[in-house]
Structure 1
Amino acid sequence: MSQIIINQFSMARNWTIELAEDLTEEIANMQPEGFNNTIKWQLGHIIGAAEYFMRILPGNQAELPVLYQELFSPGTRPSEWKSEPPHLSEITIELKKQLERINKISPEQLKETLKEPVHHFNTVADSASFCVLHESVHVGQIQIMKQFFKV
């Protein structure tokens, strides 16, 4: 069962990478009317959330630049950024590097209990399963946003 979660994460992440590789920097930075953020924000948020759910909650150290939390955490918006965001190509590289790290999570690690329940998650598998769902939702948002730009 736990290997299914990693396989599903890989599938969702590969969709994300495919979408990112099909974009230009200009499109990634455009904010469609009615949206609070950009495709670049969506991509950075996916990376930050995966780091939280798949590494930090299980008790591992984050392997992302601090800038990702500053720019892409829930509630942040590109209109409020005080720092220059990473280039789309850097984000795409980070998506791939993170996928490699997460693919190394063993079935035994997924069975481990979190130090304390967080968001009603008791195990690493609970958190990882939500991460797959979360990424899929944001992939859908990116696809909708791309339609605004006829990409």
Structure 2
Amino acid sequence: MEAVFKTWKTSRSLLLEFFDQYSLAQLNKTPDGFSNNLIWNLGHIIVAQQALIYKGSGLEGYIPDRLFALYKPGTKPTGQTTQEEVNELKELLTSVIEQTELDFHKGKFTTYNERMTGTGFYLSSIEDAFEFNNYHEGLHLGLMMNIRKFV
């Protein structure tokens, strides 16, 4: 699992750069031909991790329900994300890693609700969920690398 955490931390450090390299207007811009924007992808990555790891284990996560409503799978940007919310997402992007890793090492994840993801991956354990989370975040990082060319 240490390799999974190492990969996750590296991915999140790459994602963190988007907050510093793009203005609020650029984070919010949905380019022609795209269904979402940079900030939606960042919010979605945070929400999806909490759903995969915590909700999948029958546990409460560490993000507010209002963020789940805005960024869960099947959503798209609904308006302009404020600077205040951008700051909140930036903080959550890294803080949830530390908390999740701590919870894992404390043995907090004792069960996992097996399921098939929307993309056809079968998750039967918390380890599967962590592996899939890294895959999922990589997909969104790739999308964001395309979006940034047009903002």
Query: Please, what TM-score do these two structures have when normalized by structure 1?
Result: 0.84
1:113 Cα shift?
4.6
Distance in 2 (alpha carbons) for counterparts of 1:16 and 1:122:
27
* Aligned equivalent of 2:104: 106
CA deviation string 1:101-138 (max 9, x = no partner):
12324368498551x31122111000010000101111
Corresponding residue SS for 1:57: helix
Equivalence for 2:119? none
Alignment partner for residue 137 of structure 1, among 136, 139, 145? 139
1:93 maps to what in 2?
91
Q: Which amino acid aligns with 1:11?
A: T
Letter in 2 for 1:144: N
How many residue pairs end up in the alignment? Answer: 145
User: What runs of 5+ residues in structure 2 fail to find an aligned partner?
Assistant: 117-121
- TM-score in terms of structure 2 length: 0.84
In structure 2, relative to structure 1, the CA distance for the partners of 1:146 and 1:125 (3 Å cut) is same
**1:92–1:108 Cα change, 3 Å:** closer
User: Compared with structure 1, are the counterparts of its residues 27 and 84 closer, same or farther at alpha carbon in structure 2 (3 Å cutoff)?
Assistant: closer
Which residue of the partner structure matches residue 28 of structure 1?
A: 27
Alignment RMSD: 2.2
SS at match of 2:114: strand
